[in-house]
Chains A and B, each alone.
Chain A
Amino acid sequence: MKLGRIIGRVVADRKHESFEGVKLLLIQPLDSHRQPSGDVLVGMDVVRAGEGDLIFYESSKEAGQALPNWFHPGDVAIMGIIDHIEGIDAETTGGA
């Protein structure tokens, strides 16, 4: 899994049927200091994340298995909303 922050939403009217009803969000990957690290991704949301949320996501084939129809072609899934991270920067743990 990787660490990221939700920075926006993607709306697509015409799409493959497997993406019907799947909310697509923009993810900025982050490093351990919560600084942007790498290109922005489009992820499938299964945990009702919202803009600004600190999240963890999975990429590759494993991502599709997070959806109810697990044999899914999507390759990035948002799997959880992080409340805090214990151990690296205590002063920012409350500000997830």
Chain B
Amino acid sequence: MLLAKVIANVVADTKIDDYKNLKIMMVQEIDHTGRDNGKMVLAVDHAQAGIGDTVIICDEGGSARMLLDTPTIMTIRTVIAGIVDEVTLDPDG
């Protein structure tokens, strides 16, 4: 899993059937200090995330299908799994 920040909402009318009822967000990957690592990815939202939220994303097909609880196999890989409230770093670490 990775930390990311939601930066936009992607609207697409024409898409494969599996995605008809799924919300797609553009997220920017960040490190544990909140710094942008330069990688952007589009993720299916499974946490009712909004623009500006820090989130946890899973970027693997099997995990994505498990998160969405999809009985059929579908083309999915990146899913927003949760909204981060706080990241605490060990001061001695």
Whether B78 sits at the interface, judged by CB under 8 Å, is yes
Tell whether A87 pairs with B12 under 8 Å between CB atoms, given A1-B42, A61-B61.
no
Partner of B19, one of A31, A60, A61, A79: A79
Which one of A2, A58, A79 has the highest number of Cβ atoms from chain B below 10 Å of its Cβ? A79
Q: Measured between alpha carbons, how far is A47 from B17 in the docked complex, in Å? A: 10
Interface size on B, residues (CB 8 A): 28
A60 closest partner in B (C-beta): B77
**Interface bin, chain A:** 20 to 34
Of residues 27 through 77 on chain B, the ones whose CB sits less than 8 Å from some CB of chain A are 28, 40-44, 51, 61, 73-77
Q: Measured between alpha carbons, how far is A56 from B14 in the docked complex, in Å? A: 11
Q: Measured between alpha carbons, how far is A84 from B9 in the docked complex, in Å? A: 9
B52 closest partner in A (C-beta): A87
Whether B8 sits at the interface, judged by CB under 8 Å, is yes
Closest beta carbon of chain A to B55's beta carbon, Å: 14
Whether A32 sits at the interface, judged by CB under 8 Å, is yes
Listed by A's residue number, 11 A-B pairs whose Cβ atoms lie within 8 Å are A2-B41, A3-B42, A48-B14, A56-B10, A58-B75, A80-B16, A82-B12, A83-B11, A83-B12, A86-B11, A88-B8
